[in-house]
Amino acid sequence: MAYKVRNTGDYAIVELTGDVDLERSPDVRKLLLEQIGAGHAVIVDLSGVSYIDSSGVASLVEAFQNARKRGSDFSLASVSAAAMRVLELARLDKIFTIHASVDAVTGG
């Protein structure tokens, strides 16, 4: 898994690529919580995610809950087909705000 963070206005855009699994999910969790803790609204770009397991999903859920407690926005964008299948199976597509693209959120 690789990641890139870029800031656009009030948003921290976290681009994840590769596998988000048990080995890598602690890094994802830490990264997302750091961005939320810094006061950013977070958009997670999942277009490059080829695989996500339950630990990766748990990292997203924890970040979502943390953002809500802080009154901050947390959303997903450009969700890959592989990641969407897992989110739909867990019915999290009904919980997360999911955008077609990062630009749909940022207006860029």
Give the ranges where the chain is alpha helix by DSSP (H): 25-37, 54-70, 81-89, 102-106
Element (H, E) at 46: strand 41-52
Q: What is the pLDDT of residue 9?
A: 85
Q: How many folded domains does the chain comprise? A: 1
CATH number of the domain within which 71 lies: 3.30.750.24
Interhelix angle for 25-37 vs 54-70, to 10°? 10
Structural domain range at position 68:
2-103
Residues near 100 by beta carbon (within 8 Å), at least 6 away in sequence: 77, 78
In a domain, 108, yes or no: no
Is 11 inside a domain boundary? Answer: yes
Whole-model pTM: value is 0.95
How far, in Å, CA of 92 to CA of 94, rounded?
Answer: 5
- The pLDDT tens digits for 70-99 are 999 999 999 999 999 999 999 999 999 999
